[in-house]
Every structure is written in structure tokens, then in C-alpha cells.
Amino acid sequence: MKKRELNRRDFLGKAAGASAVVAGFPYFVASSVLGQRAGVAASERIVMGCIGVGGERPGGQGTADMQGFLGRDNVQVAAVCDVDTVHRNRARDIVNEKYGNEDCSTYNDFRQLLAREDIDAVSIVVPDHWHAIIAVTAARRALDIFSQKPLAYSIVEGRVICDAVKKYGVVWQTGNSMRSSRNVRFACELVRNGRIGKVHTVNVGLPNVNRVADNGDRISKITQPAAVPEGLDYDMWLGPAPWTAYSRGRCHWNFRWVSDYSGGQITDWAGHYCDVAQWGMGTDLTGPSEVEGEGVFPTDSLFDTVENYRFDCKYAEGFTMIVAGQFKDGVRFEGSEGWIFVNHQELDAQPKSILDSVIGTDEIHLYKSKDHKGNFLDCIRTRSEAASPAKIAQRSVSVGHLGLIAIRLGRKLKWNPDKELFVNDSEADRLLSRPMRSPWHL
């Protein structure tokens, strides 16, 4: 980073004065990193670090998000971080090949990357149990953040993220690209503007079972305790999660099906389709008042997140959201005068003429974004709120968290969305968070 009278963070409109998170980590910024590219001056480029660059294949989500930023002339990816040497070295090579140099730095510990003074923004693509600690640390460094959904492992951790984002004035974009989908926005605008009359039910379909990647091996083989592979910092991978012996099925893709690290399909997808449902109903800054449900928690394997589930959420606004694995993936708004269905590929309605409707200039128009990562970068410069801010992502995934708690307890729960607490229910409140393994804490 070139030092100037007006430094990069001031130029980008960022708040200054954040204290260092980790002291004593040296870093080096090669001069070629700061050179000209495609007419964009070095002082005008957003320097990014990518935390979590893995996936079972080169096309994994962490790598995909990194490449989504790497291909933009107004971004410089300067560093990558991953606890798996194979992942971080592969990502480093992708970056260096793109820029035609050897300047990309690699880190095992995210704190080293965040301690660098030249970084303006980070992408975070890590297992759910790590989201809050990394995100809050980055916010305290006044770094803008692009983080994959779900927002956090628990409702309490999500609220801590929201509070940090607000306190430190950083731009946050959740990796929920449906907020940048024309079809999704149009469907929600149609609902908001009464094209299907009064909505009484919203059916949300999420994937129903744990999709374990076994690479042709038996489940029993990949769940057996095994030696930690060379190059994987397993203790760092576990981080705040409970200590347990390593097995091949525990890490990388399959973490989603282990309740120590994730809420399974429900929390993985609530950030998409429960978000769409609440956007369409205008409840994306609140939540349900009552939740009940049922499902099956597998007990015969490491993979213990819920399957074959359904939970019903009643809202004070007068409608019910039903979330179930038996529904087609997507969101179906059912009203007194018709229905609208939308998912990441499809938009349908009955009557069909609804889709010919034009949203008038005096009607409700929702946040417009055509390019999710581009929207994030634009908001870094303008200091505007991004398409999928933390405060909305918190409410979206909370629907999933609430459903899981109701299923686990096996009874109807009353929820206060303003306080983010259950109503006179200390047993349920205890499931809003969990202790972190020392020395990690928020």
C-alpha cells in the first residue's frame, strides 16, 4: 500500500483508528502488487484478503468467491488464508497466475492477514462455527466484509456480528446472491404491491437430507478416527468448536452435516429462501412470534443434523411461513388472489398475467442490485448499505435457528423478535448460543 497524505482508507471513506488485533506479524507488500492495471490507479483499487479458499475441488465456494473478486480491475487480491496447505497454496497459485507475479501472501492464521495495514476488505468463506470470531475481528480492524451465508452458527453470535458491523461502521455483504437476482426482486415487489392479494401462507422449500460427499467410500470409512493429513492445522480448523478426534468426513464439505459446526440444510439454505420469504413479506427486519416443528436427527452416524423436517412460523403480521424439506426448493407466496413461486432458476405465478405486471413509479420498489460482488465493491466506495447487510442476514437465518430449536425441544415456542429471546422460556434461551472452546471467545 502506498502511503500518501490521504491514505487508502481515507480515500475509500473508511473510519480510521481501529486498534491492531494481533501485534508482531510482519508482512511485505511487493511493489508489483501496487502497479497499474487496466487504467485503475493503485490508490483507487480495493486491496482484499481472502479467508477460507477451500472446497473439495478447485471450484469450491471459497475459491469461487476469490475468483469473483480476482477478475475485477478495481480489486487487488493481496493475500489468502486457509488452515489447509493444499487449499491456500492452490489459491495462491491462482492469484499469482492471474497477476503474472509471485506476490500473493499466504497465511494459516486469519489474525495475521487481518493485522496487515494494506488490507481494505476481506472475504470470509469458512465453516459456520468460525463466522463470528473472524467477522468481529475484521470489523474491529475497520475492514469491509463479504461473508458467506449463513450469517453465524447461532442467533447470539449473529447479533454480536450485527453489533460489531454497526459499531465500527463497516460495509457488510452476505453471500446471498438472490438479493441481486432480478426475478427474486420482481417476485417480492409483486407480493409487496398486492398483486396476489392478502398473503396468508408462504411455503419455503429447502433441501431435505444431508448430502454427504464420500468420494465413493462407505460412510463408515470416512467417519472413522484417522490421522490428521499433513498440511491441515486441525486444531485451528476446530477453533471454538468442541475438541474431538479427526475423521475425513468431519472437515471441508461435510462439516455442514455435523451439528458441532453447522445447522445442516436448514441453516445453510435459510439464508437464501427464508430471506426471500421475509423480503417479500416485508418482515426482513423482524421475525416470527411463534414456531413449532418436527424432524429427524440421525443418531447412527457422525452426520447428525436434522433431516425430513417441517416447521411452521406464525407472524404478528397475520401470515404463516411453512418451511419443509418436502416442498420444491424455493418460495411460494399464496394469497387471496393468486400465488407466486420463485427460486434461483424459476419464476411462476397463477394467474400467469401477474408476471406481465409493471411496478409503477408510485409503488414499492425494493433494493436493486444486478451484481452481488460488484454491489459490495460499490458500497465500499460510497459507504452505502449493501444489498444483503448483516442485520437482514441475521433475521433470515434466525428463522432456521428457531425452527431447529423448536424441533429439538419438540414443542411450540413463543419468540420475541424485538428482544431476540424466547418468551418466558429459559430452556429454549439456553439454545441460542453455546460455549466456545478456550482460548476462543467473542
Structural domains of the chain, count: 2
What pLDDT does 214 receive?
Answer: 74
Residue with cell 425441544: 409
> Where is the domain boundary, 148, 163, 178?
178
Q: State the Cα–Cα distance between residues 177 and 321, nearest whole angstrom.
A: 22
Q: State the Cα–Cα distance between residues 300 and 115, nearest whole angstrom.
A: 43
Same domain, 258 and 140: no
**Position 243 in a domain:** yes
Residue with cell 418460495: 331
CB proximity list for 318: less than 8 A, separation 6 or greater: 198, 200
What pLDDT does 218 receive?
Answer: 73
Residue with cell 462455527: 129
**Position 330 in a domain:** yes
Contact 386, 288 (CB under 8 A): no
Same domain, 241 and 153: no
Same domain, 69 and 17: yes
Q: Residue 385: exposed, middle, or buried by beta-carbon count in 10 A (0-12, 13-18, 19+)?
A: middle
What pLDDT does 215 receive?
Answer: 67
Same domain, 213 and 170: no
Contact 69, 75 (CB under 8 A): yes
- 61-70 helix and 372-382 helix, angle to the nearest 10 degrees: 60
What pLDDT does 9 receive?
Answer: 52
Q: State the Cα–Cα distance between residues 12 and 35, nearest whole angstrom.
A: 18
Task: Give per-10-residue mean pLDDT for the chain (442 aa).
Answer: 39 41 41 51 88 74 94 96 97 97 98 98 98 99 98 99 99 98 99 99 96 76 93 98 96 94 98 99 98 96 96 99 98 99 98 98 98 98 98 99 99 99 98 97 95
Cell numbers for 103, please give them.
Answer: 506476490
Residue with cell 485451528: 236
**Position 373 in a domain:** no
Phi, psi of 203 (to 5 degrees): -95, 125
DSSP single-letter state for residue 84: B
Same domain, 229 and 121: no
Tell me the one-letter amino acid at 73.
Answer: D
50 three-state secondary structure: strand
**Position 299 in a domain:** yes
Cell numbers for 328, please give them.
Answer: 420444491
> Where is the domain boundary, 118, 144, 178?
178
DSSP single-letter state for residue 432: G
Cell numbers for 165, please give them.
Answer: 458491523
**Position 350 in a domain:** yes
Q: State the Cα–Cα distance between residues 274 and 285, nearest whole angstrom.
A: 12
Same domain, 272 and 247: yes
> Where is the domain boundary, 149, 178, 207?
178
417 three-state secondary structure: coil
Strand 421-422 to 413-416 pairing = antiparallel
CB proximity list for 70: less than 8 A, separation 6 or greater: 77, 94, 95, 98
Same domain, 245 and 342: yes
Cis, peptide link before residue 225, omega less than 30° from 0: no
Q: State the Cα–Cα distance between residues 320 and 301, nearest whole angstrom.
A: 34
What pLDDT does 38 receive?
Answer: 56
Q: Which domain holds residue 216?
A: 181-359+390-442
Same domain, 257 and 289: yes
Same domain, 268 and 417: yes
We report the CATH number of the domain holding residue 395 as: 3.30.360.10
DSSP single-letter state for residue 92: H
We report the CATH number of the domain holding residue 87 as: 3.40.50.720
**Position 87 in a domain:** yes
Q: With residue 201 as reference, give the H or E element that holds it.
A: strand 199-205
- Tell me how crowded residue 31 is: count the other CB atoms within 10 A of its CB: 10
User: What is the DSSP track for 258-318?
Assistant: -TTT--THHHHHIIIIIHHHHHHHT-TTS--SEEEEEEE---SSS--S-EEEEEEEE-TTS
Same domain, 207 and 115: no
**Position 366 in a domain:** no
227 three-state secondary structure: coil
Compute CA 218 distance to the chain's CA centroid, rounded to the nearest angstrom: 30
pTM of the model: 0.91
Cell numbers for 292, please give them.
Answer: 413449532
- Tell me how crowded residue 266 is: count the other CB atoms within 10 A of its CB: 29
Contact 372, 173 (CB under 8 A): yes
Same domain, 148 and 222: no
Compute CA 188 distance to the chain's CA centroid, rounded to the nearest angstrom: 21
Q: Residue 81: exposed, middle, or buried by beta-carbon count in 10 A (0-12, 13-18, 19+)?
A: buried
What pLDDT does 153 receive?
Answer: 99
**Position 382 in a domain:** no
Same domain, 138 and 192: no
